[in-house]
Structure 1
């Protein structure tokens, strides 16, 4: 029996092409934390998008639990990691760290037996539907048009999402202007989604939703904070547009309550935050028990294999920041042309390999 003999973690901070922002946050760089777990000369890789402190947390708090463990026993390791982070809290930095480790463990297990993850889990579909996601509130009209044109008219992606709720909902007129601009740019045949990142109050979100009807917006994500279940329910009851859950941490009780409240139309799951692939399957099972579809949040290439293994999938978010980083720093990144992406079926694990030399110039921890 092989055992885990090495654990590493590194953080890479990649500048954005220009300042980016959404309804409640602005940023000029994105940090990716990469974890490797090795056994019998084989290495598995996982990653998350999190503060650089998550890398230190892996090496200082989690590596001791991992070393000497059987890489086939992922459920036992996951339970041990969960116990280890009890006092640090499963959401936040600790949750990001556990998520990256879990992805690395599944990648390692598949590579040790020489199969792709899609073979290890089984596939529900060969191709995964996706949507282009970006349209930041900091973009001027030209940048917005350029990005949407590239996705819809050059790459053939038939679903796109832009950010609204600018400055905590203080500029609704500009939000509505940008929604109308997006519709004119993509035409009537493409689906238009929006994401307020919790920037509105509930009644404000209802008013904005009413104004967006004429632009045929069919997905209104996090119109209010995803912690505000009563607000989500109000928006859902008052609007015909779908309301997504938005992003959340890895507290299973949270998304169980959200399902029970029926405040959402579709649950977003983020494997880089909710406990990796193990957390994904747990959340997807809860959603399935409530007859809800799931949508992958960000980190598109990481999500492709697990999305392909999930019967109740709606789509994967092809988030601009993350797909740009993954395409630059990993061999094996997928092609989104046509609005569908294929997970690797011809390489072991998730099929991606970090380009260490290229990534080194961004390393911060």
Structure 2
């Protein structure tokens, strides 16, 4: 294999972008978001990958992963992924280490596709041209006017027929406001748009059940993390009692996490985040686990990191068009996708890899490391 291209170098950069308004969900508030970028080079060809994670993630890449991957063939990405997972054994794979691996893994897949001159979807083997998306945001910090404006932007301006808002405000302590916001959301999007909610694990079991009954009256079809995804038995119990789909999985960093969730019959649709679960290599395996049980998978956040791999699985439900990340990806990259009509078409322009290019003159103002 000496004639194959090798990984010659890795580099990292950290960008922190303020939100355009204060944001919060049921259990967390923030006013800025950090993207850790990894670039990998083979000869004159460069691939990029990224994760939304603390700046310390870049340090993990430099200290634990760069030496592990440099010198390997650039075409054997699963092999590199396995070596990286082994390299962080003592550091601990779940969490920041898995996010670091994810950024490198995505960059390696992008590099391989660029070396072969193919869109990543074509390299992976697309089973669909269009990847459905849903508009996601509706933060608990939004007032009625801002929530309405955002929802109408997705449905009326972009033609996205499915949207999601956050509920479970302040760890479930504001049930009345949660339901008022759901009522307003339904009024904003009309009767034909699919309406989803995400409690981010903010409710107790009893609360989640009570709220779920009220959500049914508003035609909510997707109830994400009504309780913490750490409590699989409780999540499975709620799934059996509620008429809408109960979903979770965004905090999965390892493949066994997804298997445990599926084995517990805890979700109707598995969520997985390619920037957290050690990359495209493991995301594809999580999709296969769900497919074997007759369940769909949905890509969580980071839409441009997901789009091509989402096109490659037969059991895709949709991809989250998350306001915060869409805004950042539009700020930093050229080659972003258009969700008009409710779907994106990764690889349609024939651009190799993910089709993204970092626009350094745009990005530099946000660089912190």
* Alignment partner of 1:314 is 2:317: yes
Which deviates the most, 231-240 or 29-38? 231-240
Q: Distance in 1 between matches of 2:95 and 2:16?
A: 18
How do 1:264-303 residues align onto structure 2 when only pairs under 5 Å count?
Answer: 264-303=267-306
What is the aligned residue count? 365
2:249·2:258 contact (CA, 8 Å) conserved in 1?
no
* Alignment partner of 1:237 is 2:240: yes
Name 1:223's counterpart in structure 2: 226
Paired residue for 1:27, among 9, 27, 30?
A: 30
How do 1:96-115 residues align onto structure 2 when only pairs under 5 Å count?
Answer: 96-115=99-118
2:14·2:55 contact (CA, 8 Å) conserved in 1?
yes
SS of the aligned residue for 2:8 comes to strand
Q: Deviations over 1:102-121 (max 9, x none)?
A: 00000001111111111111
Q: Following TM superposition, by how much is the alpha carbon of 1:5 offset from its aligned partner in structure 2, in angstroms? A: 1.2
1:21·1:27 contact (CA, 8 Å) conserved in 2?
yes
2:273·2:301 contact (CA, 8 Å) conserved in 1?
yes
1:62·1:84 contact (CA, 8 Å) conserved in 2?
yes
SS of the aligned residue for 2:18 comes to strand
After TM superposition, the score normalised by the length of structure 1 is 0.99
Unaligned stretches of 5+ in structure 2?
A: none
How do 1:73-152 residues align onto structure 2 when only pairs under 5 Å count?
Answer: 73-152=76-155
After TM superposition, the score normalised by the length of structure 2 is 0.98
* Alignment partner of 1:347 is 2:351: yes
Q: Distance in 1 between matches of 2:363 and 2:94?
A: 27
- Which stretches of structure 1, 4 residues or more, deviate above 4 A after TM superposition? none
1:250·1:279 contact (CA, 8 Å) conserved in 2?
no
Name 1:362's counterpart in structure 2: 366
Q: Following TM superposition, by how much is the alpha carbon of 1:246 offset from its aligned partner in structure 2, in angstroms? A: 3.9
Unaligned stretches of 5+ in structure 1?
A: none
Paired residue for 1:38, among 34, 38, 41?
A: 41
SS of the aligned residue for 1:185 comes to helix
How do 1:166-185 residues align onto structure 2 when only pairs under 5 Å count?
Answer: 166-185=169-188
Q: Deviations over 1:177-211 (max 9, x none)?
A: 00000000100010000000000011110000001
1:197·1:246 contact (CA, 8 Å) conserved in 2?
no
Name 1:68's counterpart in structure 2: 71
Name 2:160's counterpart in structure 1: 157
Q: Deviations over 1:204-259 (max 9, x none)?
A: 10000001111100000000011110111121111101101141232221210111
SS of the aligned residue for 2:181 comes to helix
Name 2:341's counterpart in structure 1: 338
Q: Deviations over 1:313-335 (max 9, x none)?
A: 00000000001111111110001
